[in-house]
Amino acid sequence: AKDFGIEEALQQLGVQNTNKGTSTGNHHFGSGEEIISSSPVDGQEIARVTTTTAADYEKAVNAAQGAFKDWRMMPAPLRGEIVRQFGEELRRLKEPLGKLVSYEMGKSYQEGLGEVQEMIDICDFAVGLSRQLHGLTMHSERPGHRMYEQYHPLGIVGIISAFNFPVAVWAWNTALAWVCGDVCIWKPSEKTPLCGIACQNIIAKVLKDNDLPEGISCLVNGDYKVGEMMTTDKRVPLISATGSTRMGKIVASKVGERLGKSLLELGGNNAIIVTPDADIKMTVIGAVFGAVGTAGQRCTSTRRLIIHESMYDKVKNAVVDAYKQLKIGNPLDEKNHVGPLIDKDAVKGYQNALTKVVEEGGKIIVEGGVLEGVGYESGCYVKPAIAEAENSFEIVQHETFAPVLYLLKYSGDVGNALELQNGVNQGLSSAIMTNNLREAERFLSVAGSDCGIANVNIGTSGAEIGGAFGGEKDTGGGRESGSDAWKVYMRRQTNTINYTTELPLAQGIKFDL
Ligand code: UN1
Interhelix angle 193-209/168-180, nearest 10 degrees: 30
Average pLDDT over residues 65-91: 98
Select from 170, 388, 420 the least CA-distant residue to 270: 420
Residue 107 beta carbon below 6 angstroms from any ligand 1 atom:
no
Q: Pick the range with the lowest mean pLDDT from 24-28, 196-200, 399-403.
A: 24-28
Average pLDDT over residues 311-336: 98
To the nearest 10°, report the CA torsion of 42, 192, 289, 364: 70
- Report the residue among 461, 465, 480 best suited for mutation to probe ligand 1: largest number of ligand atoms under 8 A from its CB: 461
pLDDT of 24 over the 80 cut: no
Please report the pLDDT score of residue 16 as a whole number. 75
Q: Pick the range with the lowest mean pLDDT from 23-32, 243-252, 323-332, 374-383.
A: 23-32
pTM for the full model?
A: 0.97
Find out whether 428 and 270 touch, Cβ atoms under 8 Å.
yes
Distance 465 CA to ligand 1 centre (A): 9
C-alpha angle with apex 421: 418 to 422, nearest 5 degrees?
85
Q: What are 335-359's pLDDT values in tens digits?
A: 999 999 999 999 999 999 999 999 9
Residue 270 beta carbon below 6 angstroms from any ligand 1 atom:
no
pLDDT of 387 over the 60 cut: yes
Distance 460 CA to ligand 1 centre (A): 10
Distance 329 CA to ligand 1 centre (A): 22
- The one catalytic residue in 118, 190, 265, 399 is 265
Q: Residues of 134-168 as b/e, b for ≥16 C-beta within 10 angstroms?
A: eeeeeebebeebeeeeebebbbbbbbbbbbbbbbb
Of all protein residues, whose CA lies closest to atom 6 belonging to ligand 1? Answer: 462
Distance 165 CA to ligand 1 centre (A): 7
Please report the pLDDT score of residue 19 as a whole number. 47
Average pLDDT over residues 47-76: 96
Please report the pLDDT score of residue 21 as a whole number. 44
Distance 272 CA to ligand 1 centre (A): 16
Please report the pLDDT score of residue 17 as a whole number. 67
- Chain-centroid distance of CA 174 in Å reads 12
Average pLDDT over residues 274-291: 97
Distance 464 CA to ligand 1 centre (A): 9
Higher pLDDT, 185 or 513: 185
Q: What are 443-496's pLDDT values in tens digits?
A: 999 999 999 999 999 999 999 999 999 999 999 999 999 999 999 999 999 999
Please report the pLDDT score of residue 3 as a whole number. 78
Q: What are 389-420's pLDDT values in tens digits?
A: 999 999 999 999 999 999 999 999 999 999 99
Residue 460 beta carbon below 6 angstroms from any ligand 1 atom:
no
pLDDT of 18 over the 90 cut: no
Q: Spell out the residues 6+ positions from residue 313 whose beta carbon is closer than 8 angstroms to its own.
A: none
Q: How far apart, in Å, are the Cα atoms of 63 and each of 30, 67, 85, 212? A: 14, 6, 22, 12
Q: Is 265 a catalytic residue?
A: yes
Residue 451 beta carbon below 6 angstroms from any ligand 1 atom:
no
- Report the residue among 163, 247, 292, 299 best suited for mutation to probe ligand 1: largest number of ligand atoms under 8 A from its CB: 299
In ligand 1, the atom with minimum distance to the C-alpha of 242 is 3
Residue 463 beta carbon below 6 angstroms from any ligand 1 atom:
yes
Please report the pLDDT score of residue 247 as a whole number. 97
Residue 243 beta carbon below 6 angstroms from any ligand 1 atom:
no
Q: What are 112-157's pLDDT values in tens digits?
A: 999 999 999 999 999 999 999 999 999 999 999 999 999 999 999 9
Of all protein residues, whose CA lies closest to atom 7 belonging to ligand 1? Answer: 462
Residue 171 beta carbon below 6 angstroms from any ligand 1 atom:
no
Distance 101 CA to ligand 1 centre (A): 14
Residue 165 beta carbon below 6 angstroms from any ligand 1 atom:
yes
Average pLDDT over residues 259-276: 98
Residue 245 beta carbon below 6 angstroms from any ligand 1 atom:
no
* Range 205-212, long-range pairs (CB < 8 A, 24+ positions): 205/89, 206/82, 206/85, 206/86, 206/89, 207/82, 209/85, 210/82, 210/85, 212/67, 212/70, 212/71, 212/82
To the nearest 10°, report the CA torsion of 255, 260, 265, 269: 60
Q: Give the percent of the chain with pLDDT over 70.
A: 98
Average pLDDT over residues 159-163: 98
Q: What are 206-238's pLDDT values in tens digits?
A: 999 999 999 999 999 999 999 999 999 999 999
